[in-house]
C-alpha cells in the first residue's frame, strides 16, 4: 500500500500567495507533467484560483490541455523549435509559440501560412540559459520577426533567469538585456507585447522584475530555491504504512554496507518504500553550483549517509531511517515511540522522482 497524496487546499493557497506576491498575471508552468504532480489535476486547481494562462514545453501538452477543456486559456509553448511537425501541433492547438531563432521564425511562419492562420508567438531572448532564444545582439533578426513574418503575430517577449535564487547581479544583468531590447523596439515604433522574465525564485527574491507577467512552476509545489520565508507550503507526500515491528539487540547492523550500528536495543519499524519509489534520490539532483555540491559532500561525510540523517513520519512522530535506504524498504528506529503495525508512514518525496507505479491521489 502506497500512494502519493496531494493536498488541493495547500496548492490553492500557494497559488493565491503567488498571485498576491507577483501582482501581475501569473503564467502557470506545467511542464514535466506539472512537476510530477499531474498536469491535469494541477491545471484544475490553478484555474479555480484564477490562473488564466498556462505554459508547457511539449507541444503535445498544449493539445492535451485543449482536450481537457482549457479552450479559453492562453497556452504558451516555451520551446522554440525549427521542427515543422511541432510548429504544426502548436498552431493546431491555437497555442502561443516561442520563437528563439530565425529558423524557428521561418518554420512557424511557413506552417501558419500553410494552415491559413496567423500564429501567435512570444520572442525568446537567451540571456544565459543557453538553450532557446535570440542572443541580445541579434536585434535586427528579432525586429524582423515582429515586422516581416506575415504568418506570425508576436504578442510577447521574454527571457529566463538562470540564477535568480543565488546571484542577484547576474539576474539583474539578464533583466537589463531584455529591457534594452524592449526599449529599442519601442524606439523603432514596435509594441513588444507582454514582457516576462521572472520564474519562481525571481518572484520571491525580488520585487521589481515582475514586468507584465511572471512564469511560475515550482513555487506552486512549495519546492523552490528562495531566501527566507515565502509563505508557501510544500505540497504532496508519499504515504505508506508500517508492515512489521521487530526488536534487535545493541550492536546490530542495518542496510547494505552495515552503515548503521544500533547503539542500544532498538525497536525497528519496516516501511516498504525505497529508492524505487523515488525516496531519497532527490538531493544531489537539486544542487546546481559547485560550492553546493561541495557542501553536500562534506555534510555527507560528516553525518554519514545511512547513519541516520534521514527521517520519516510514523503515526505523527519523527522516526530516523537506519542504514542506507534500500531499493524497496527502509528500517526506522521507533524505540520509545507509539507505533503499531499498520500505522501510517509519511515520506517526503519529490514527485518528479516518484515511480510511475505509485498512484497519485488529490485530496
Ligand atoms: C521551468 C521554467 C519556468 C518555471 O520555473 P520555476 O523556477 O519552476 O518557477 C519558467 N520559464 C521557463 C522558460 C521554464 O523553463
Whole-angstrom distance, CA of residue 190 vs CA of residue 207: 27
Please tell me the pTM assigned to this model: 0.92
Q: What's the grid cell of residue 153?
A: 503575430
Query: Is 108:151 a contact under the CB 8 Å cutoff?
Result: yes
Confidence at residue 226, expressed as pLDDT on a 0 to 100 scale: 77
215 lines ligand 1 (CB under 6 A): yes
Confidence at residue 224, expressed as pLDDT on a 0 to 100 scale: 87
Whole-angstrom distance, CA of residue 56 vs CA of residue 62: 7
Question: Residues of the chain with pLDDT > 90: what percent?
Answer: 89
Q: Give the residue-averaged pLDDT of 323-336.
A: 95
Q: Is the dihedral of CA 262, 263, 266, 269 positive or negative?
A: negative
Tell me, in angstroms, the distance from the centre of ligand 1 to residue 31's CA.
Answer: 8
Whole-angstrom distance, CA of residue 348 vs CA of residue 194: 37
Q: Give the residue-averaged pLDDT of 214-229.
A: 90
Q: Is the dihedral of CA 132, 138, 141, 144 positive or negative?
A: positive
The phi and psi torsions of 27 (rounded to 5 degrees) equal: -90, 115
Q: Give the residue-averaged pLDDT of 316-330.
A: 95
Q: Give the residue-averaged pLDDT of 213-227.
A: 92
Angle between helix axes 139-148 and 102-115 (nearest 10 degrees) is 10
31 lines ligand 1 (CB under 6 A): yes
Confidence at residue 67, expressed as pLDDT on a 0 to 100 scale: 98
E strands present in 66-151 = 74-80, 96-99, 119-126, 134-135
Confidence at residue 299, expressed as pLDDT on a 0 to 100 scale: 66
Confidence check: pLDDT of 303 > 80? no
Confidence at residue 225, expressed as pLDDT on a 0 to 100 scale: 78
Whole-angstrom distance, CA of residue 236 vs CA of residue 4: 7
Looking from the CA of residue 124, the nearest atom of ligand 1 is 13
Query: Whose Cα sits closest to atom 15 in ligand 1?
Result: 78
Report the range of poorest mean pLDDT among 122-136, 216-230, 260-274, 341-355: 216-230
Report the range of poorest mean pLDDT among 73-87, 196-210, 272-286, 311-325: 272-286
Query: Is 9:363 a contact under the CB 8 Å cutoff?
Result: no
Confidence at residue 58, expressed as pLDDT on a 0 to 100 scale: 98
Which class for 252: exposed (0-12), middle (13-18), buried (19 or more C-beta within 10 A)? middle
Nearest CA-CA partner of 332 in 310, 351, 354, 348: 310
Whole-angstrom distance, CA of residue 182 vs CA of residue 198: 16
Query: Is 242:337 a contact under the CB 8 Å cutoff?
Result: no
Using alpha carbons, list the distances in angstroms from residue 139 to 82, 106, 154, 177, 303: 20, 16, 15, 11, 52
221 lines ligand 1 (CB under 6 A): no
The phi and psi torsions of 26 (rounded to 5 degrees) equal: -105, 125
160 lines ligand 1 (CB under 6 A): yes
Tell me, in angstroms, the distance from the centre of ligand 1 to residue 162's CA.
Answer: 9
**C-alpha 281: how far from its chain's center?**
16
pLDDT band per the 50, 70, 90 thresholds, residue 294: confident
Looking from the CA of residue 203, the nearest atom of ligand 1 is 9
Confidence at residue 281, expressed as pLDDT on a 0 to 100 scale: 85
Confidence check: pLDDT of 248 > 80? yes
Give the residues across from 311 on adjacent strands. 320
Pocket test residue of 46, 75, 217 for ligand 1, highest count of atoms within 8 A of CB: 217
E strands present in 200-329 = 214-216, 237-241, 244-248, 253-254, 260-261, 266-271, 311-314, 317-322
Using alpha carbons, list the distances in angstroms from residue 24 to 12, 160, 206, 289: 17, 17, 14, 30
Looking from the CA of residue 158, the nearest atom of ligand 1 is 13
What would you report as the CA-atom Rg of the chain, rounded to the nearest whole angstrom?
A: 24
Q: What's the grid cell of residue 209?
A: 522584475
**Residue written as cell 518525496?**
349
217 lines ligand 1 (CB under 6 A): yes
Confidence check: pLDDT of 274 > 80? yes
Looking from the CA of residue 215, the nearest atom of ligand 1 is 10
Q: What's the grid cell of residue 127?
A: 540571456
Whole-angstrom distance, CA of residue 236 vs CA of residue 71: 28
Amino acid at each position: 500500500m502506497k500512494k502519493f497524496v496531494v493536498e488541493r487546499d495547500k496548492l490553492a493557497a500557494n497559488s493565491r500567495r503567488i498571485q498576491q506576491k507577483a501582482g501581475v498575471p501569473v503564467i502557470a508552468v506545467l511542464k514535466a507533467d506539472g512537476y510530477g504532480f499531474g498536469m491535469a489535476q494541477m491545471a484544475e486547481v490553478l484555474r479555480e484560483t484564477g490562473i488564466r494562462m498556462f505554459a508547457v514545453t511539449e507541444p503535445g501538452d498544449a493539445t492535451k490541455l485543449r482536450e481537457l477543456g482549457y479552450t479559453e486559456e492562453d497556452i504558451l509553448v516555451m520551446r522554440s523549435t525549427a521542427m515543422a511537425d511541432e510548429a504544426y501541433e502548436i498552431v493546431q492547438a491555437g497555442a502561443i509559440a516561442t520563437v528563439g531563432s530565425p529558423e524557428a521564425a521561418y518554420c512557424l511562419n511557413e506552417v501558419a501560412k500553410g494552415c491559413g492562420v496567423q500564429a501567435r508567438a512570444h520572442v525568446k531572448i537567451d540571456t544565459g540559459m543557453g538553450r532557446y532564444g535570440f542572443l541580445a545582439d541579434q536585434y535586427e533578426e528579432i525586429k524582423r520577426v515582429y515586422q516581416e513574418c506575415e504568418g506570425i503575430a508576436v504578442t510577447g517577449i521574454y527571457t529566463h533567469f538562470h540564477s535568480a535564487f543565488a546571484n542577484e547581479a547576474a539576474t539583474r544583468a539578464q533583466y537589463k538585456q531584455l529591457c534594452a531590447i524592449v526599449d529599442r523596439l519601442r524606439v523603432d515604433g514596435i509594441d513588444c507585447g507582454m514582457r516576462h522574465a521572472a520564474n519562481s525564485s525571481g518572484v520571491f527574491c525580488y520585487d521589481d522584475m515582475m514586468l507584465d507577467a511572471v512564469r511560475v512552476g515550482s513555487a506552486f509545489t512549495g519546492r523552490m530555491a528562495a531566501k527566507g520565508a515565502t509563505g508557501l507550503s510544500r505540497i504532496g507526500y508519499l504515504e505508506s504504512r508500517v508492515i512489521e515491528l521487530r526488536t534487535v539487540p545493541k550492536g546490530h547492523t542495518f542496510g547494505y554496507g552495515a552503515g548503521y550500528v544500533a547503539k542500544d536495543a532498538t525497536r525497528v519499524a519496516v516501511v516498504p518504500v525505497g529508492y524505487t519509489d523515488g525516496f531519497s534520490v532527490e538531493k544531489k539532483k537539486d544542487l546546481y553550483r559547485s560550492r553546493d555540491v561541495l557542501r553536500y559532500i562534506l555534510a555527507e561525510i560528516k553525518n554519514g549517509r545511512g547513519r541516520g540523517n534521514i527521517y520519516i513520519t510514523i503515526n505523527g512522530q519523527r522516526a530516523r531511517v537506519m542504514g542506507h535506504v534500500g531499493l524497496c524498504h527502509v528500517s526506522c528506529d521507533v524505540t520509545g515511540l507509539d507505533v503499531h503495525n499498520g500505522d501510517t508512514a509519511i515520506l517526503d518525496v519529490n514527485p518528479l522522482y516518484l515511480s510511475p507505479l505509485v498512484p497519485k491521489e488529490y485530496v
